[in-house]
Structure 1
Amino acid sequence: MDNVATAKLNPQVQQPQYARQHLKSRIVHLGFGAFHRAHQALFTDEMLTKTESDWGICEINLFGGEALITQLRAQDHLYTVAEKGADKTDIKLIGAVTESLHPTFEGQEAVLEKMAEPQVAIVSMTITEKGYCADPASGRLDKENPLIKADLAHPQSPDSAIGYIVEALRRRRDRNLTAFTVMSCDNVQENGHVARAAIMDYAHLIDTELASWIESNVTFPCTMVDRIVPAATAETLDEIASLVGVADPCGIACEPFRQWVIEDNFVNGRPDWDIAGAEFVTDVVPYEEMKLRMLNGSHSFLAYLGYLGGYAHISDTMTNPHYRQAAYDMMMQAQAPSLNMPEGTDLESYARLLIDRFTNPSLKHQTWQIAMDGSQKIPQRLGGSLRYHLANGSEFSWLAMGVAGWMRYIAGQDEQGNTIDVRDPMIDQFQALYAQAGISTQAARQLLALESIFGTDLPKEAKFVNAVIDAYQHLCDHGARHAVASLCQ
């Protein structure tokens, strides 16, 4: 059966213009998900088009995704990205991937040996917040995490990404090989520091000498990544097939906008991603906080209150003028004042760009998808700005409503009494809490006491607690649409 590697593709498909056979697996990437396909792999593909470089990528899924890896191999590791603007769609065939591995197919040993190969200079990750096995409150390794407990018992046959990286680095040290750079591309604040803390904590628990070697030889650059990449649906794949001329089960659709800001701190060389539009800087933190608070924070606000309001997609929420205005006001009045940006940064233009991106009707970005894993996201997206406003006595009603929207969403029942398929690492705890308290302000108060989400400080702030309880009660009494409209008065 023909695929993107063997079929004659439609003429509008932009195909790789470089010799793929000369690429080497110099990057090992953990997490061959939708975002990576439309972001880092695409940047690498465009960099290869403009250089004579040999920076190829070996893709590894540690958990799940077996079918995706099988499909990728069947089409010579080629796949398509559809960049969908409001007016036109560009379709690109990505050739930067050289090979793929999965512990289910090849075993743990093959994965570890690949990471230990001499030419591998970067191990990058898109493993989501929970993949770092970190305690959200402390930012340190969660030693009680089941994966970590299992890995500590058998460090040479790990399951977690943290365990794989440390064991691969141990092998490189023992073979006198240069270390690799560990590069997080997850939407996590100071992601390089989070990765470093988890890896160093784990290494100290198994081998203090190895931990010292890692500390001296490995770098953990922070990165800020930005592109809206909805999960692929049957409808998306049908559309890609019609554009390409053949089905591509690995294809992905995304918005035209993309941004990648990278701390230039690599121990063993790096690709010239800046040729493809990435930006190398000395400090990523201001850009991260701008994106996490203004884009991701408002995205979460729209996801919870949009889902509860009956909107399936972010672009649907933008058809409601109250949601549109509330999202913009949240960016400019709640999030922007809390930021410390380089001189000349135009946050108002950034906010308007975000509203335009959210409005793009070609992107079917589900509110349900963005609503996943809220217990891991709320602290980063809303916590810092909440603390800023509490310290300065300024207005934070949008943030309080966002927190209340999350609390009402994880009750697992929408405003019509239908079940919500809540996906979250803390779902068992939430279900037990709601089973006891019901959808009530009592449940909201119990949720506010969770230190892993709100720390020890926020639950003691009466102004914050009262604002969230009032917003939660408003949601229960009047529904999400009315609650969002009330923010615009």
Structure 2
Amino acid sequence: MKLKRQNLPQLPAHIARPAYAPDQVKTGIAHIGVGGFHRAHQAAYTDALMNTGEGLEWGICGIGTRADELSMRDALASQDYLYTLVELDDRPDTEVRVIGSIREMLLVGEDGSESVVARLADPAIRIVSLTITEGGYCMDDGTGEFNAALPHIQHDVENPRAPISVFGLLCAALAKRRGQGVPAFTVMSCDNLPHNGDVTRKATLAFANLVDSELANWIAQNVSFPNAMVDRITPMTSAAHRKDLRQNHEIDDAWPVVCEPFVQWVLEDKFNAGRPAWEKVGVQFTDDVAPYEEMKIKLLNGSHLALTYLGFLRGYRFVHETMADPLFVEYIRQYMDEDVTPQLAPVTGIDLTQYKRTLIERFSNCAIADQLERVCSDGSSKFPKFTVPTINRLIADNAELDRAALVVAAWALYLRGVDENGDRYRIPDPRAEFCQSLVEDDDGLADRLLGREEIFGNHIGRSPAFREAFDRNLLRLTTLGVSGTLDLLLTR
């Protein structure tokens, strides 16, 4: 049965569906970057709140800035912006649920900048949220400053009333609200990067100062940028997932989303224009997100990178395949226990031993079939956030470096585009060509790679101890292979 509002009553009984009438939902949130994670996380939390009878004024208007979002928008529009969320696990009681919290979607390229800015400037919009990936914040990881030289940023500086970038859109809408005497909205990042609210504030103010310093001052005084820690593994939805939904659940959904059952959201309660009562559906509000985000980013995201490039080189293509290899499981356990845990401050309400045990279980989830390619993607932007802080601390503490250096050595070999079986693959990274140029020649490889401060900062390349560990593990990988290297590392 085609997923549409009129067909909801005819869906099979085991399919959870909105307990509210979609036409009663008013739009109060605009979300830029309607990908799988947003639909499995923030939109799902919002839908859960609406199912309690609350929060119907917080429906979501999706905003797209990329041409490749057109097919998704058209698919969702064809089914009244409803979509199915499918939890994947070995348990028989996992949820299949229709989500109705997204009510509309606009695309800059299709609907025009003016229409998008007008929607963001609408007084009904009180939160603008973001999932634009780590690289979407236009920050130079070497300097920590906003990169104003990027082409789309330069376009918006020269054409502030016809923006195409996220920060151009935000500032144009805030300028319009300021001019009309409309209160500012909250800007809420839901991306996996440390201090995501602080980073969003810095990027927004930096752009605003390029076009209007008075606007920048107004934003600084009137806009909240809460920090958040978000977590839910959300693999790419495949044709097989859609087929399974049709065959086993009798739903014809053009754009479903699949995810693991686990979900977490820790959020600073800093909203200048109100917010949904998300705490009623499991969101944890706190005055300080930092301990939670450091725990999650260093343990989950850092461990993901630690296994993903090694796994890809070994010939695996899914996370659970990698975790079926005892060498990888023991390596990840040691990385988490010996390298990361000593760096973490106590986290209220979290048992770290249990948290790490849960991570191993989540990574090993066969049903979710999380693609290593997804985790490998955009490594040049992920390393500075997920791995470099751990390495810097290890260097400062004169600690063991081999496990962490192996992560970087594996990435260096991965960038060459061929695994141990001779199979070639693409490198999903916006800077793929540049990164591959760093590892083309063996001579001077460590200098070229580790010396890139926009990826590795200014400490790693200057550490003789880390360079030695990197060279040692790169040599082991090229001579012993992944399994031989892990066996040597774990049994010495």
Measured against the shorter chain, the TM-score band is over 0.9
| Deviation digits for residues 185-223 of structure 1 (CA, Å, limit 9, x no counterpart) | 001111111111111111111110000000000010011
| 1:465-480 equivalences in 2 (<5 Å) | 465-480=467-482
Query: Could you say which residue in structure 2 is the equivalent of 1:278?
Result: 283
Query: Could you say which residue in structure 2 is the equivalent of 1:10?
Result: 12
Question: Distance between the aligned counterparts of 1:367 and 1:441, measured in 2?
Answer: 29
Query: Could you say which residue in structure 1 is the equivalent of 2:61?
Result: 58
Does residue 1:41 correspond to 2:46, yes or no? no
Please give the secondary structure, in 2, of the residue aligned with 1:65.
Answer: helix
Residues 451 and 326 (structure 1 numbering): CA distance in 2 closer, same or farther, change over 3 Å?
same
Q: Which residue identity does 1:87 align to in structure 2?
A: R
| Deviation digits for residues 315-341 of structure 1 (CA, Å, limit 9, x no counterpart) | 001111010111111111111111113
Q: Is the 8 A contact 1:203 1:211 kept in 2?
A: yes
Q: Is the 8 A contact 1:79 1:248 kept in 2?
A: yes
| 1:155-194 equivalences in 2 (<5 Å) | 155-194=160-199
Alignment partner for residue 218 of structure 1, among 205, 220, 223? 223
Query: Could you say which residue in structure 2 is the equivalent of 1:391?
Result: 396
Q: Is the 8 A contact 1:4 1:247 kept in 2?
A: no
Instruction: Tell me how far 1:343 sits from its aligned partner.
Output: 5.3
Query: Could you say which residue in structure 1 is the equivalent of 2:26?
Result: 24
Q: Which residue identity does 2:131 align to in structure 1?
A: T
Q: Is the 8 A contact 2:439 2:449 kept in 1?
A: no
Question: Runs ≥4 in structure 1, deviation > 4 angstroms?
Answer: none
Alignment partner for residue 382 of structure 2, among 377, 380, 384? 377
Question: Distance between the aligned counterparts of 1:337 and 1:130, measured in 2?
Answer: 28
Please give the secondary structure, in 1, of the residue aligned with 2:347.
Answer: coil
Instruction: Tell me how far 1:441 sits from its aligned partner.
Output: 6.0
Question: Distance between the aligned counterparts of 1:312 and 1:475, measured in 2?
Answer: 18
Alignment partner for residue 72 of structure 1, among 69, 76, 85? 76
Q: Is the 8 A contact 2:46 2:101 kept in 1?
A: yes
| 1:232-243 equivalences in 2 (<5 Å) | 232-243=237-248
Count of aligned pairs: 486
Please give the secondary structure, in 1, of the residue aligned with 2:95.
Answer: strand
| 1:280-299 equivalences in 2 (<5 Å) | 280-299=285-304
Gaps of 5+ in 1: none
| 1:81-96 equivalences in 2 (<5 Å) | 81-88=85-92, 89-96=94-101
Residues 343 and 126 (structure 1 numbering): CA distance in 2 closer, same or farther, change over 3 Å?
closer
Query: Could you say which residue in structure 1 is the equivalent of 2:257?
Result: 252
Q: Which residue identity does 1:476 align to in structure 2?
A: T
Q: Which residue identity does 2:54 align to in structure 1?
A: E
Gaps of 5+ in 2: none
Alignment partner for residue 359 of structure 1, among 364, 367, 379? 364
| 1:340-351 equivalences in 2 (<5 Å) | 340-342=345-347, 345-351=350-356
Greater Cα shift, 138-147 or 373-382: 138-147
Identity %: 38
How high is the TM-score relative to the length of structure 2? Answer: 0.96
Question: Distance between the aligned counterparts of 2:223 and 2:345, measured in 1?
Answer: 29
Q: Is the 8 A contact 1:407 1:444 kept in 2?
A: no
Q: Which residue identity does 1:68 align to in structure 2?
A: M
Q: Which residue identity does 2:157 align to in structure 1?
A: L
Q: Is the 8 A contact 1:13 1:92 kept in 2?
A: yes
| Deviation digits for residues 47-76 of structure 1 (CA, Å, limit 9, x no counterpart) | 111133221000111112101100101101
Instruction: Tell me how far 1:22 sits from its aligned partner.
Output: 1.9
Greater Cα shift, 327-336 or 474-483: 474-483
